[in-house]
Structures are given as structure tokens and as C-alpha cells.
Structure 1
Amino acid sequence: MSESGSPGWEDTLAWVERVATIFSADGIPPIAGRTLGWLMICDPPEQSAGQISTAIGASRASLTTNLRMLTTMELVSRRTRAGERTVYYRVDDDAWYKVVQRQIAGVASYVEVARDGMDLVGPDTPRAARVRESHRVLSWLVRVFADAPPPPSETEDRS
């Protein structure tokens, strides 16, 4: 931290790199993870590709590809300003909720596919054992999310 209590540039980049490392474990390229980390803490919250590129030390070509991926994943959105040609990027306010909802829907879809797989090879056969285990665990996860309360509001988080 700097003397003013706000993080210094090295602390900021270290945090951005930590975000990239966590997301790379899920197959997200490091540049996309760094971009996401940067957009989560940068000021102002909307940044041009040039600003992001400079901040995280990425080439514009690589950054463009990764911004497209983050936009497709609905973690980041593109914005324009009246009278400007520059495109700005930001993390959407509901990005994390949308990502989690999509992941839950994907797990629920797989549960159906696993059930069909067990029907295909017979639910009690040795061939179905691996499918049965994935079905058991992921069915549990879908039930957990179905019974979960909604995410807290921002005001609830602060209390």
C-alpha cells in the first residue's frame, strides 16, 4: 500500500495477476484474466482497449481477442460515448450473477444428459458407474442452487 492508504501500482498489478491465475485454472487465458482483474478495480470503471493494454502490458491484438471472449461470456460489455469513436469496456454490474446462472443451467443440462447416458447403457451396469457418479453429484449441486436464497443486495453486503 502507498502512504495514502490506497494500493500502489505494484500492489494493483499483483492483485490483477492473482485474478488471472485463478481464472486460468478454469481455462481462461492469462490476458483475459488480467483484463478482467484490471476492469474490476480500475478508475474510471470504463476503459478503452488502449488504456487496458497499457495497464496490463498486453498487445492490442491479443487484447482484442480476449476482450471479445470476455464480452461473449457476458463478463464485460462494450460502451460508446456520444460524439466519440472510442469503444470502452467495463465489467457489468450483474456480470457475476449472469455467469453463475449460466453455469447452473449448464450443470442442469448435463444432469439430463447423464440420465440419458445411464438409460443408454443401463443404470446399474459397470459401464454406467462413472456417469452415475457425475449424475449423483451434479444433481445434488442443482438441488443446492434451487434451494439457495437469492444473492444479497449491495446494501445487505454492507451491513
Structure 2
Amino acid sequence: MPGGRLTLEDRRRIAGWLADGLGYAEIGRRLGRPTSTVSREVARNSASGEYRPAHAQEAAGHRARRRRRASGGEPPEVVRGFVAEFAALLAATGLPRMTARVFTCLLTAEGGGLTSADLVRLLRVSPASVSKSIGALEAMDLVARRPDPGGRRERYRIDDDVWLRAWQADTGAHGRLAVAAQQGSELFGPDTAAGARLARMGRFFGGLSEQMSGSTVAEAAGYDALTVVAALGHAGRPLTPDELAAALGWPGERARAALEAIRQRPALADPFALRDGESGTVVLTPRPDRLSPVQRAALEKRSAGLA
């Protein structure tokens, strides 16, 4: 009826009149609707210049369901059960229980997110509890605030890249731990108990950082770092950065950037390590912490026997 929602029949009539070449104003007059309603309907539901009434009807139904869910309908029992179970799992990792419940509600919300009032209603808790949990999630950069298009309130939502940002924050911390632990191992010596423990810690966090970053083989510096390791191993002797660059056919800056990448992320060269040699050369050596003193002694003895 005029003023109500467009029906499938209305949409089919619009498609027919468009095919006859009628303008939006004339179609609106025949339907008893404003011209803007027709123009918005056609713009929203056209593909490749063609208005599709069946697709428009389906999309309208989907939007209506989303509005009903966001406007206050209680979630079904199965959804409430999932939210409770998932929040409990998050709480078991150390996240405060209420913060975990708020986070899970936002995680399972539609794209527009939820207001503070929505969270209070869904969780049946006080506004103060929601506010405290939102503050904790914002401090961890897990939740973003957005203005509510339909009012003066703010909406809270979880952006699509939230996991990437949280992942990168952890990756940076793990990488710094790996470098510091490796430096500590070299300070105490790989044959000491402290040095061995620090070396194991450095290997663990170095490998974790590389796996989490997902960038070792994607970055140009990562590729170049592996090429430098292979070049030094093939040469079998120390080389300066300029000698490396000349042998590889690279600009000098590219070779130096690859060497710096290895110094910043030692796991790139694992199971080898770089150290500074004489006259500005770079020396490739096996990492001493990869083998125990007994293993190294056995290999040296075997090599001497073969010689």
C-alpha cells in the first residue's frame, strides 16, 4: 500500500516500467511513492545497469531481519548458549569474566555493532559493568567506537583487522624478547646453564615471532636475508657487504638491508648466525646453542678422525 514497504509485485512493476523507459518521477507517481524512494530502490538493487526485483526483495527482507535483531529482539537460546560458552573459554585464558562476556557479545553482533544500552540489555548487567569492560577492551585495542547514525549514542564494534593488530603487537614483543635472550646467551656463554636457558628462550620466541608475523617469506628483506646466508655459506669465507653485493649483482644498500634484517631477527638465519669479522667482513657460523657441548665435541672428534 502507498507509504508501506515495497512488495515483490511493486518491484516487478518498477522493473517493467524501467524497461518501458519511464522516469523515476513517473514511476513514483504510478506507485504513489516519492521519486526519491524509487531512485534509491533502483540504485541499491541494480547490477550492470539492470534492476533486479527478486534480488531487491530478498535484500530488503535481509535488512529488515537485521533491523529487528538490532532493535531489541532477544537472541535465540542457542545463541545465548554459544555466547556464554565462548566467554567462559576467553575467561579461562585470563580475560576478566565480564570483559569476556562483553567482547563475545560484540564479536557475535551484526556489522553495525552495539550500543552500551544494547549490551546492558543483552547481558542484564549494570551500565557501570559494561563501561568498565569497554574501557579494558579499548586499552587492548580490541574494540572501536563509532558514532551511531540513528542517534547521539556511540556504537562499539570489533573491526575486521582487530586480530591482525593484536597479532602484530604480540609479534613485536616476541621479536624483542628473542633478540634480548640471544644477546644474554652470548653474554653468559652457550656452555653455561644460564646461556643455554637463554638460548632456548631466544629460539622459541624467535620462531614464534617469525611464524606469527607471517612476513618472513613475504617481505623482500626476508628473501634477501636467506639469499645472503646462502651466499656466505657457498663462499665459505668472510665477505664484506660490498663484496656480497657485487657477487649477487645487488646495490650495496640492498645487501646491507638484508644483513640488518638478520641482525634484527636472528631467526632468519637459523641454524646459522652472523658475526662481525676483520676489516668489516661478515662471518657466517653455526649457532653454538643449536648443539650441546657433548654434541659439538663428538662431531669435532669424528671430523678429526676422518681427516
TM bin, normalised by shorter chain, reads 0.7 to 0.9
Query: What is aligned with 2:203?
Result: 136
Q: Aligned letter for 2:148? A: R
Distance 1:77 1:134, change over 3 A: same
Quote the residue 1:34 is aligned against: 101
TM normalised by structure 1 equals 0.75
How far has the Cα of 1:10 moved from its partner?
2.1
Any conservation in 2 of the 1:16–1:37 contact (CA below 8 Å)?
Answer: yes
RMSD: 2.5
- 8 Å Cα contact 2:111/2:157 also seen in 1: no
For 1:19, the equivalent position in structure 2 comes to 86
For structure 2, which runs of at least 5 residues remain unmatched after alignment? 1-74, 219-307
Q: 1:18 to 1:128 in 2, by over 3 A?
A: farther
CA contact (8 A) 2:179 2:206 kept: no
Aligned-partner Cα distance in 2 for 1:12–1:114:
45
Q: Determine the structure 2 residue equivalent to 1:125.
A: 192
Residue of structure 1 equivalent to 2:137: 70
Deviations 1:63-116 (A, max 9, x none): 211101111222210112368331210111211111111111121121122123
**Is 1:103 aligned to residue 173 of structure 2?**
no
Structure 1: state its 5+ residue gaps: 1-7, 150-159
Q: Which residue of 1 aligns with 2:216?
A: 147
Matches within 5 A, 1:38-117: 38-43=105-110, 45-81=112-148, 84-117=151-184
Relative contact order (alpha carbons < 8 A, sep ≥ 6): 1 or 2 greater? 1
CA contact (8 A) 1:13 1:56 kept: no
Q: Which amino acid aligns with 1:146?
A: S
Q: Distance in 2 between matches of 1:114 and 1:24?
A: 30
Measure, in 2, the Cα distance between the counterparts of 1:71 and 1:113: 29
The secondary structure found in structure 1 opposite 2:121 is helix
Amino acid at match of 1:147: T
List per-residue Cα deviations over 1:136-158 (Å, max 9, x = no partner).
11212223333366xxxxxxxxx
Larger Rg computed on CA atoms: 2
Aligned length: 143
Kindly report structure 1 stretches of 4+ aligned residues shifted beyond 6 Å.
none
The percent of aligned pairs where both chains have the same amino acid is 26
Q: State the SS of the aligned residue for 2:184.
A: helix
Deviations 1:50-71 (A, max 9, x none): 2112212332222211101111
Residues 125, 61 of structure 1: alpha-carbon distance in 2 compared, 3 angstrom cutoff: same
